[in-house]
Amino acid sequence: MARQVRCPRPGGAVPIHTHVGACRPKPCTGGIQTFLVVLLACAAARGQEPKQTPPKDLTNASIEDLMNVEVTSASKKEQKLSQIPAAVLVITQEDIRRSGATNIPDVLRMVPGLDVAQVNGSTWAIGSRGFNQQFSNKLLVMIDGRIVYTPNFAGVYWDTLDLPLEDIERIEVIRGPGGSIWGANAVNGVIGIFTKSAKDTQGGLTDAVGGSNVQGSGTVQYGGDLAHGTKYRAYAKYFNLYHQRDFAGEANGADGWHMLRGGFRTDSTLTPKDSLTLEGDLYAGREGELGLFLPSITSPSLVPLAEEINLSGGFIQGTWQHQYSGKSESTLQASLTRYTRRDPLEPETRDTIDLDYHQHFAWKKRHDLVWGLGYHETSDEIGGSLTVSFNPPSRSLQVFNAFIEDEIALVPDRVYFTIGTKLEHNDYTGFEVMPTARVTWTPSTRHTLWAAVSKALRAPSRNDTNLVVNLGSTTDSGGNLVLTRFSGNPNSQDERLIAYEAGYRTEVTKQLSLDIAAYFNDYDDLQTTEPGTPFFEPLPAPAHQVQPFTFKNLAYGESHGFEIAASWQVAKRWQIKPGFAFANEHVHLERQSLDTTTVNFVEGSAPDHMLQLRSHLELPRRVSWDLSAYYQDALTNQGIPGNIRVPSQMRLDTGATWIAGEHFSVSLVGQNLLMDHRLEFADVFGSMQSGQLRRSAYVKLTWKF
C-alpha cells in the first residue's frame, strides 16, 4: 500500500507508509481471551441440526425480488431494501461474479456516488459523496460487523482486505451518514461486507487466474461438517500482481505485490434459539512502492526511493445470536485483531479489541426498537526515523459507546418515523452525541419516499494528534538553513456534519426499477494546515531554523448532489444497470486561517459528474457476456501544493464466461481497455507515489466439487 507520509493536507491524512515484519506478542485482556475460549468450546459442542434453507438465488431474480433483499447495515436489524430511509445499494454475489473484478475496490466501482480511484498497484482512494482522498477518513468499512479502519489515520488499508470474492454474500453500501448506529467516522458513507454462511459453501472450490496484471492467483477452499449442527469452511489464497507504470507512464512503477492468506469460518446451531459463528484469518505479503526519505537535514525535499514493504496480520471473531421470540433477538460479538506493517520510515504494530452487543425487539404494536452497547480498545507501537516519527511512539486508546433507535409506525404499512442516537466517548474529544431522524412513506408497494436529518463526526486520529514529519529544507536570504516540519495537534477536534437527505424508490414496471437520492451536507470544524512561529534547533546537526506547521479546525463547507441508480430488464436474457452521480463541494476558511492548500485539495480531489452503464447478456450454449463502462470528470489541484490535473476519462471492462458443466467454468476478462495506461488519482505527494494503470486481461478457471 502506498506509504503515507502525513503531510499538511485537509482531512488529516498524511500518508506514512508502514512495512510489516515480525511482531512481538503483547498480552491482551484476560476477560476477552476467556470469552473467546468459551465460544470455541461452544462451537465444538454438539447441537441440533439447523434447518437447511437454501440461499436465495438472485441470478435470475425479478426486480421485485431485488428490491426486497434484506439489509442490516442501516440499523443493525433486517429490513427490506425498498423500505429503508437511506441511500442504499446492495451488491450481490452475482453482481460480483459478473463484474470481472479481482479485488473489493474494483467491485465497489458499480455504486453511483462512490468514487473509487486507484493510486498505484496496491493503493486506492475511495470516498462517498465527494471529499475523496488517499486513505479517505470519512468512510466506515466493516466485514461481518467488524470495523476495519485503522486509528492511525481513520482510513482503510484496502490492500489487506483480499478475502475470496466467491465467499462474499453481499456488500451493502450506504451513501450518507451512519453515525447514529456506527459512531464516529461513518460520516459520508458506510460499507458493510457480509460473507456467506459456512452451510452455503459446502464442498470444494478451486480457481486459478493468470494474465498480464494478475500474473498468478489461486484459491483452494473446502467446506463440510465438523459435528452435528456445525458447518465449516477453510480456504487458502495466493496472488502475485505485476507492477503498474510510473507517474510519467514510461517505466516500472515498482509497485508489484504478492500475498498469501488463509482463513476459516464455522456456523453452529447450539440450541433452537442460539447460533454461534466463529471466523478468522491470517495473511502475509510484500508490496513494492516508492518510499519517501529525507537523507539528511540539508535535503531540499523528500526523495523517492523504491522499496518493498512487508505486511502481516490476522483476526479472530465470535458472534453469538439468541432468539428470544419471533419479535426479539440479540447479538453479542467479540473480535481480536493484530497487524504489522514495517518500513524504514514508520514500522507499525497494532492490537485491537472490539466488543459489541445489541438487541432488537418489538414493543407494543407500533414500536420496533434496537439498542446496544460497545467497547473498542486499540494499542500501537510505531517506530520512527529522521523523516517521520510519532510523539509518543506508543499509545492505547479506548472508545465506549451506546445507541438506541426506535422505528414508529405512525400509519402501519404506510408511514414510519425513525429516531435514534449514538452516544460515544473517545480519549481525544470526550463525549459526543450523533442523532438522526428519518421518515418513510410507502403510498403503495411499488413506491417509497423517505427523508432524513442526521449528525455525524470524524474523530481525530493518531496522525492528526501525534505525527511529526520533516518535509525538507531551504536556505533563507541570510544563508541560514530552514527545515519545514509538520507536527500533529494534540488538541485536534472532531470534524462535524449535519446532513439533509431525501430519496425515492419505485418499480416503474416489472422490468424497470429506479432509485433516486439527493442530499445537502453542512460541514463544520474541517481540518486545515496552519503555520506556526519559527524556532531555532541545534540538533541534529547542522543547526537550523524550523518552520512549523500543524493541524487546526479552521474550515467549514457544504456539499450537495444526487445519485440515480436503475435496473432495466430489457429482454429475458439482457439486463442493463445505468447510474449517474453529481457531487459538488465548497470549502471556506475562517478569517484567522492562513492555510493555502485545503480548499483546492478538497474541491479538486473528487469528480463532479460520474456516469456508468453495466450490461449483462445471456448467450446460447451457456455463455454470458458482461460489459461495464465508467466515466468521470477531471480532477484538479491534486497533490500538494495542488499542481496536478487528472483528465476526465472513461474506463471499459468486459468479460465472457462459459459454464462448461455443472461444476466447471471459464472466464476471459479485459480491464482498462480504452488506453494502454492512464493516471486515475494522484497521491498527496503528487508524482512521488502515483502510478498509471495498465490495460490488462486475464483468464480464470473455476472448479467446484
Q: Which residues on adjacent β-strands are paired with residue 618?
A: 624
Q: What is the mean pLDDT of residues 621-647?
A: 87
pLDDT given at position 584? 94
Q: What is the band of 305 on the pLDDT scale with cuts at 50, 70, 90?
A: confident
Contact at 8 Å (CB) between 260 and 236? yes
Residue 55 has pLDDT above 50, yes or no: no
Average pLDDT of the chain to the nearest whole number: 88
- 237 vs 540 pLDDT, higher one: 237
Q: What is the band of 552 on the pLDDT scale with cuts at 50, 70, 90?
A: very high
pLDDT given at position 691? 85
As assigned by CATH, the class of the 10-487+497-704 domain is mainly beta
Q: What is the band of 57 on the pLDDT scale with cuts at 50, 70, 90?
A: very low
pLDDT given at position 485? 95
Q: How far apart are CA 39 and CA 120, in angstroms?
A: 41
pLDDT given at position 585? 94
* pLDDT over 70 percentage in the chain: 89
pLDDT given at position 63? 58
**What is the C-alpha end-to-end distance of the chain, expressed in Å?**
35
CA distances from 613 to 238, 580, 583, 651, 654 (A): 31, 9, 18, 11, 12
Which tens digit of pLDDT belongs to each residue from 564-605? 999 999 999 999 999 999 999 999 999 999 999 888 888 888
Q: What are phi and psi of 616, to 5 degrees?
A: -130, 125
Q: What is the mean pLDDT of residues 462-469?
A: 94
Residue 66 has pLDDT above 80, yes or no: no
Least confident piece of the model among 21-35, 55-69, 245-259: 21-35
Q: How far apart are CA 332 and CA 345, in angstroms?
A: 39
Q: How far apart are CA 471 and CA 483, in angstroms?
A: 7
Q: How far apart are CA 177 and CA 139, in angstroms?
A: 9
Q: How far apart are CA 73 and CA 77, in angstroms?
A: 8
Per-residue burial over 120-133, b if 16 or more Cβ lie within 10 Å, else e, is bbbbbbbbbbbbbb
Which tens digit of pLDDT belongs to each residue from 472-482? 899 988 888 99
Q: What is the mean pLDDT of residues 632-645?
A: 79
pLDDT given at position 67? 65
Which tens digit of pLDDT belongs to each residue from 101-119? 999 999 999 999 999 999 9
Which tens digit of pLDDT belongs to each residue from 35-51? 333 333 443 443 343 33
Q: How far apart are CA 192 and CA 203, in angstroms?
A: 26
3-state SS string over 232-288?
Answer: EEEEEEEEEECCCECCCCCCECCCCEEEEEEEEEEEEEEECCEEEEEEEEEEEEEEE
